[in-house]
């Protein structure tokens, strides 16, 4: 199964936050758990991976999301 990648462009942080809350409220419990598990696995792979600058920046972003 192939998932689509999409981007939502907001005009402010407040608008972006409202969109995020709305998006996650619409998800089923199963979808939320699958998303969280995906983020955990991705973060774990990054921690074990190479220690270059790009990985460090992405690690900080993923850590904030958790």
Q: What is the pLDDT of residues 14-36, one digit of tens each?
A: 998 999 899 889 999 999 999 88
Sign of the Cα pseudo-torsion (27, 33, 37, 40, in order): positive
Would you state the pLDDT for residue 11? Answer: 92
Would you state the pLDDT for residue 36? Answer: 87
pLDDT bucket at 66, cuts 50 / 70 / 90:
very low
Contacts of 66 (CB under 8 A, 6+ apart): 39, 40, 43
């Amino acid at each position: 199964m192939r998932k689509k990648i999409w981007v939502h462009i907001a005009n402010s942080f407040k608008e972006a936050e409202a969109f995020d809350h709305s998006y996650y409220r619409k998800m089923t419990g199963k979808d939320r758990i699958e998303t969280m598990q995906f983020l955990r696995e991705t973060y774990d792979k990054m921690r074990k991976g190479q220690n270059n600058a790009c990985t460090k920046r992405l690690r900080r972003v993923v850590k904030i999301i958790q």
